[in-house]
Structure 1
Amino acid sequence: METSIVGVGVSISDRFRTVAEEKSVRIQNLAPRAQRLDVKVTHRAYHNGSREEETVELTVTGKGPVVRAEATDADKFTALDLAVDKLAEQLRRAKDKRVDARNHPRGARFDKAHGDLEGIDVQPASIDTLRAVATGEVPIVAEDGEEDYTPVVIRTKNFDAEWMTVEEAVDRMELVGHDFFLFIDARSDHPSVVYRRKGWDYGVISLTAVAPPVEEELAS
């Protein structure tokens, strides 16, 4: 497995490269089909000088979905250890799901009469959640110590649309370690997002594209 290590705002020492390459062996053992491991170290220094942080992002690519994990700590070696532990847990969980799927075939079923999803612990978003998203009333909570926080978009990413089932989207969300995952529902062709709720429950929001009514031209 090829390993790439880059630093943003920080230089990568030979010692860190050696440690990262040693830990990549653990990842390869858990993901033998992986072809590449990208390690990105980002240094952040806060404007008031109160603290500095090192964020380590790990991305595994190969045959199959991309798997990501990241961790932040004042020491980049500690952040690397935490990120590797997270990535290893996600890979183990994915392996367990594949074994379970072979032994117990599963599939989500949509009950049109009641609007329920059966065969998977995903619930449609509530009316209040949909209304909050549509009107922009979702509260933005600042992290502890972030007194100067402002809701500014600092990073934008574009991805190719992927058609998959809700169940597959949940699995992909777990692999990348995010709290939500965007996809196109293969059953309805609607843009949708699955998101993590309390515990191990999940929710799903779908957009139904409806063309606006065409207004008749006023008679002159």
Structure 2
Amino acid sequence: MEIVVTGRHTQIKQRFRDVVESKMNRVTAIAPDAQRAQIVVTHEGNPSRADSAKRVEITVIAGRTVVRAEASSADEYSALDLALDKLTLRLRRTRDRRKDHRRGYTTMEPVDLGAVEPETAEEEAAAEEPNNSPQAAVASDLGPGESVEVQVGDTPIVIRRKLHIAEPMTIDEALYEMELIGHDFFLFVNKETNRPSVVYHRHGWSYGVFEIDTPENVAKTK
């Protein structure tokens, strides 16, 4: 499995890279078909958030499955452990779903989000340069997998926009994807209505669905 470690606003020490190499055996033990792991370490510069100064994001690509997890802590080593715990739990769920499928149960095919490319030094430098214009985060055209990040003036607010290409899916498939990446919501295009939609956690095992459409399109269906 290819392992890529990059840093945002921080330098990655060789000792941390060695720890990552050794601990990623947990991933290959559960998902032997894993092809690539992208680990991104981000430093939070706000002194008031010292207990979560380091954030570790892990993205694993195994076949057509993309699984993500992230965690924050006072240092990158404990954040790595927390993120790995979440990741291995989601990988086990994926493995169990595959077993159910072989037993004859119906399961959903995860969406291929494409390979996660490490950011270049130029991209990281551009992300650090504030232009005082939040509109810049949504005004420019993006290609698949590309992202743009701007800081709003002198505030700590950062707006990040990224383009994903995905085939329309059912609500059940969207719920499955949401569980894999560990988010409380998931944006998708509903296969049955062709509308931009969002599934989200409510409480317990309860979920909600938002669909978005224009008045003109709604009028056409009446």
Same fold (TM over 0.5): yes
Q: Tell me, what secondary structure is at the counterpart of 1:12?
A: coil
Aligned to 1:190: 195
Match of 2:111 in 1: none
- After TM superposition, the score normalised by the length of structure 2 is 0.69
Higher normalized helix content (fraction of residues): 2
Alignment match, 2:183:
178
Structure 1 match to 2:23: 23
Cα distance in 2, alignment partners of residues 202 and 61 from structure 1: 27
Structure 2: 5+ residue stretches without partners: 109-154
Specify the structure having the higher radius of gyration (Cα).
Answer: 1
**AA at the equivalent of 1:202:** Y
For structure 1, list consecutive stretches of 5 or more residues without a partner in the other structure.
109-149, 214-220
Alignment of 1:88 onto 2:88: yes
Cα gap change, 1:27 to 1:195, in 2 (>3 Å): same
Q: CA deviation at 1:163?
A: 0.8
Residue 114 of structure 1 corresponds to which residue in structure 2? none
Q: What is the deviation of 1:200? A: 2.0
Deviation at 1:174, TM superposition (A): 0.7
1:180-210 C-alpha deviation (Å, 9 max, x unpaired): 1111111222221111111122111122344
Map 1:1-220; keep pairs closer than 5 Å: 1-46=1-46, 49-52=47-50, 53-103=53-103, 105-106=105-106, 152=157, 154-211=159-216
Is the contact made by 1:107 and 1:167 (CA closer than 8 Å) also made in structure 2?
no
Letter of the 2:211 counterpart: S
Q: Is the 8 A contact 1:6 1:39 kept in 2?
A: yes
CA distance 1:100–1:151, shift in 2 (3 Å):
farther
Count of aligned pairs between the two proteins = 170
Alignment partner, residue 218 of structure 1: none
Secondary structure class of the residue paired with 1:162: coil
Q: CA deviation at 1:90?
A: 0.7
Change beyond 3 A, Cα 1:51–1:164: closer
- Summarize the Cα distance change of 1:210–1:99 in structure 2 as closer, same or farther, 3 Å threshold: farther
Measured against aligned partners, the alpha-carbon deviations of 1:94-113 in whole angstroms (never above 9, x if no partner) come to 222232344363489xxxxx
Q: Alpha-carbon deviation of 1:162? A: 2.4
Partner secondary structure for residue 71 of structure 1: strand
Q: CA 1:151/1:13 → structure 2, altered by over 3 Å: closer, same or farther?
A: closer
The amino acid across from 1:70 in the alignment is E
In the alignment, residue 56 of structure 1 is paired with which amino acid? V
Q: Let me know the Cα RMSD of the aligned residues.
A: 2.3
| 1:51 to 1:5, Cα distance in 2 relative to 1, 3 A | same
Say whether the 8 Å CA contact 1:65–1:172 is kept in structure 2: no
Letter in 1 for 2:27: I
